[in-house]
Chain A
Amino acid sequence: MEVLKIATAGSVDDGKSTLIGRILYDTKSLTSDKLDAIEKTSKQKGYDYLDFSLATDGLVAEREQGITIDVAHIYFSTEKKSYIIADTPGHVEYTRNMVTGASTSQAAIILIDARKGVIEQTNRHFFINNLLRIKNVIVAVNKMDLVDFSEEKYNAIKTDFEALMEKRDYKDQKITFIPVSALQGDNVVNKSDKTPWYAGDTLLNHLENLNTTDIYNQGTPRFPVQYVVRPKTEEYHDFRGYAGKVYGGELSVGDDVVVLPSQTKSKIKDIYFYDEKFQTASRRSSVTITLENDINVSRGDMIVKADDLPTIDKQLTATVCWMDSNELTAGRKYIIQHGVNKVIAKVDKIHHKINPDYSGINTDVTGLGMNDLASVSFKLNKPMFYDAFEKHRTNGSFILIDTQSNNTVGAGFIK
C-alpha cells in the first residue's frame, strides 16, 4: 500500500490538532479507549468540547502546558493509502521543527485562521515548504464556521496567498485551497453543505487522489552503498553484494555504472531483494546489488549510472537550517552526514542569513543561532558526491553533527 507522509503547519490556535483529531474521528481511526481517555480528560479540564490535541500531545509536559513540544506522528489509513501526519509544534523552535517534519514529507497542509487571514507566520510556513521543495501544498482555510462560511472572506485570503506565491522560487509546487471547519467537520472528510460555492474536493479526498507521480520528485538514480554483504558460506563463497536504497530513479540489470570515488566502471549483474532476483530496482527500494567486476566497494561509496555523474568536490555551498543553541561560526568543524557517508567539514564562510518570510537577506552576520537559515560554504576533508537539492532531494541534502556533543545540529540543502 502507498504511504503518504504529510507535514502540518499552523500557528498556535489555528486548530492544527483539532484538524488532525477531526480526520481521525471522521475516518473512525480513534479507538474507543483512546476516545474515552480524551473525553475524560477534556471533562476534567472543564472544556465543553473534545480536546483532540490530547490524542497527540504524548508527553506529560505537553499536557500540563497545553502545548506541543515535540513532533508527534499520527497514523491512519483508508482503503487506498496509509497516512502519516507529522504534527509539528507551532511556537518556539518553529523553523527547526518544521524543517524536521517537512524533510520526510511528500505533502504539507498549511492552516490559516479564516478570521485572521494570511499573517506573518503564514509567510514562514510557506517559505519553509518552498525551501524543502514540498511538491503538494494544501492551504486549509480553517474556522470557516466563525466567518459564516463566507465566500468573500475565503476568496480574499486566497488572493492574499496567491500574492505570496509570486515570491516563491519553486514554481513546480502544486497549491490547493480548501475551506474547512475542523471543529465542525466541514470539507475535512465529509463534503460540507454550507459551502455550495466551493466545487473542489474535501481535504481527505484531495489526499486520496494525489498520485505517485504528483508526490515524488523524480531524479537520476543514486545508490549509496550502505553495507557490504559477504556471506562467506560454502554456497555463496564468492558473493559480494552491495546493500543500499535506490534514490531518485531506477536501476536495472545490465546498466553501465561507475563506482565513486574510485570512478571504476562496471555493470549491474544482479539485483536481489531477499531471496528473489529482480530486473529493476525502483526508487526507494532497499535492495542488494552485485556487479560484473570484482572491485573494491565499501560503505559510503556511491554507485551511479555512467552517463550521469553527480558533482564530485571537496567543497560545497548550502542553505543551512541551524538547530542548536551553540552558534555555528566560521572556522568550526562539524561532521557532515550525507546519506550514509560521513565527511569532516570546516565552515569556510557564512555568506548571509535568509529571512524566512520573504523579506530578503542579512549580510551582517558572524554566527548562526537556533532556527537561523543561512547560506554557508564548507570545505571538506574528502570529496563528496552530491547534486543540487533542487535537482535531487536526497542526494542534495545533509545533516550536520557536532563532533563533541554528537548531536544533530543542523540541516543543509546543497546549492
Chain B
Amino acid sequence: MKNTAHINPLENEAIYIIREVAAQFEKPVLLFSGGKDSITLVRLAQKAFHPAKIPFPLMHIDTGHNFPETIEFRDRLVEELGLELIVRNVQDSIDQGKVREESGKYSSRNVLQTTTLLDAIEEYKFDACIGGARRDEEKARAKERIFSVRDDFGQWDEKNQRPELFDMLNGEIEQGQNVRVFPISNWTELDVWSYIEKETLEIPSIYFSHQRKTFLRDGMIWTASEHVYREDYEQVEERTVRFRTVGDMSCTAAVSSHAKTISEVVAEIRVSTISERGARIDDKRSEAAMEKRKQQGYF
C-alpha cells in the first residue's frame, strides 16, 4: 500500500489549520464567495474531517451585484455536498440605512460588504471566520497572519500583530473579538489552479473563456450590466473573455482569453505577465486600498 509522502505540503498545512479552527473555536464559519479560493477551502475542509461532515457552516455576503453564474454555482455546490449556507445581503444593510450606496463612475458595493459581514459576525457570534485570502495576492495581505485577531469593530491592527512561530496557532481571544483564519495563506494563484485541476473541482463558468458584453475603461475590460455605471461614450462590445477572480461585478475586470479548460487556464497563468489582482478595480483606488479596507474589517 501507499505512503503519504506524495501529498502536497501546502495541502497538509491547510488541513492542519482548518482542524485547529474546529478545535480551538466554538462558532467558526467559512466565508464562501463562490470563487476558486473558497471552493478550494471547501474541499480542504472536507478532507480535514472526513468521514465526518464539515463541522461549521458556510456564509456568503452577497452584494446583489454578483455574477449570476456564481450564485447559481454556489447553490448547486451547497446542495450537492449537503452543507449549511448562510446568506447575508448588502441590500439589507442599505435598506436598514446602515450603509449608503456609492454613486458615480467607480461606484461599487465592494466596500459596503464589510458592514454586512461585521453585522453577521455579531448576529451569529462567530468567533472564527475562515477565508481564502492568500499572501501572494496583494502586498498588504503578504503581512497577514494565519490566525489574524480582529477587535469587536472588526479592525485589523497591522502594526501590532501576534508573532506566529513554528506551526503553533494561538487562538486565545477575548469575548467580542474574532479571528480571521487564512488556511491557504502560503498558496499562490498557480497552486490553487493546479489543485483544482488535480482534484477535478468544479468552478463557476465565468472562469472560462466566454462571450460577454463589455466596455473598456482605464485599460481594463468592464462588464456591461445594469449594476455597473457606464458613461454614454463608453461603447459596449462583445468580447471573448474570462475572469481571474470572482468579485462584485462592479470591481472585477475581465481578461481577454480563449482558455476553455482548467489546463488551458493553468497554461495561460504560467505565462501571464499580469498579476491576479491586476484585474481588481477595488485595489486600484489607491496604493493602500487593501490595507485601508482591512483595517475597517474587510477580510
Contacts and interface: CB of A to CB of B under 8 A. Distances in A.
Interface of A: 1-3, 31-34, 37, 41, 55-61, 63, 69-75, 77, 82, 84, 96-97, 99-100, 103-104, 226-227, 229-233, 235-236, 239, 241, 243-245, 250, 253, 271-282, 284-288, 299, 323, 335, 337, 339-340, 394, 397-399, 401, 406-408, 411
A411 to B, nearest CB: 5
Contacts of B12: 245, 284-286
A399 B9 contact: no
Contact of A399 (B7, B170, B185): B170
A293 B99 CA distance: 58
B274 to A, nearest CB: 5
Given A59-B143, A77-B190, A239-B51, A323 B163 contact: yes
Name the 8 nearest CB pairs between A and B, nearest first.
Answer: A58-B139, A279-B1, A280-B3, A406-B172, A33-B278, A286-B15, A231-B52, A285-B4
B159 A61 contact: yes
B92 to A, nearest CB: 33
B16 A226 contact: yes
Interface stretch (B19-27, B33-41, B56-64, B106-114): B19-27
A135 to B, nearest CB: 15
A138 to B, nearest CB: 21
Contacts of B188: 75, 77, 82
B47 interface: yes
A156 to B, nearest CB: 36
Contacts of B10: 3, 82
Contact of A59 (B50, B140, B174): B140
A276 B4 CA distance: 10
Given A73-B186, A104-B167, A278 B52 contact: no
A229 B23 contact: no
Nearest to B46: A274
12 contacts: A34-B275, A59-B158, A71-B143, A72-B139, A82-B191, A245-B12, A273-B47, A277-B1, A280-B2, A282-B7, A406-B172, A406-B174
B2 A399 contact: no
Most buried by B among A232, A273, A279: A273
Given A59-B291, A77-B188, A31 B272 contact: yes
A23 to B, nearest CB: 15
A274 B47 contact: yes
A232 B55 CA distance: 12
Contacts, number: 189
Interface in B124-139: 135-136, 138-139
A364 B205 CA distance: 68
B273 A32 contact: yes
A37 B11 CA distance: 32
B1 A278 contact: yes
B100 interface: no
A37 to B, nearest CB: 7
A58 B140 contact: yes
Contact of A226 (B19, B166, B186, B291): B19
Contacts of A271: 4
Nearest to A299: B23
B53 interface: yes
B163 A227 contact: no
A126 to B, nearest CB: 20
Most buried by A among B1, B139, B158: B139
Given A100-B165, A408-B163, A278 B173 contact: no
Nearest to A100: B163
Contact of A278 (B4, B163, B185): B4
Nearest to B21: A227
Contacts of B136: 75
A48 B71 CA distance: 49
B48 interface: yes
A38 B172 CA distance: 38
Contact of A230 (B52, B138, B170): B52
Nearest to A75: B136
A73 B46 contact: no
Contacts of B50: 229, 272, 274-275, 288
A132 to B, nearest CB: 10
Contact of A233 (B3, B46, B51, B174): B51
Nearest to B139: A58
B288 A337 contact: no
Given A73-B135, A286-B12, A229 B49 contact: yes
B142 A73 contact: yes
A397 B166 contact: yes
A225 B19 CA distance: 10
B163 A31 contact: no
Given A58-B139, A282-B7, 17 more contacts: A31-B278, A60-B288, A63-B287, A70-B143, A70-B161, A74-B142, A75-B188, A104-B164, A104-B165, A231-B52, A278-B1, A278-B4, A286-B12, A286-B13, A286-B19, A337-B168, A394-B167
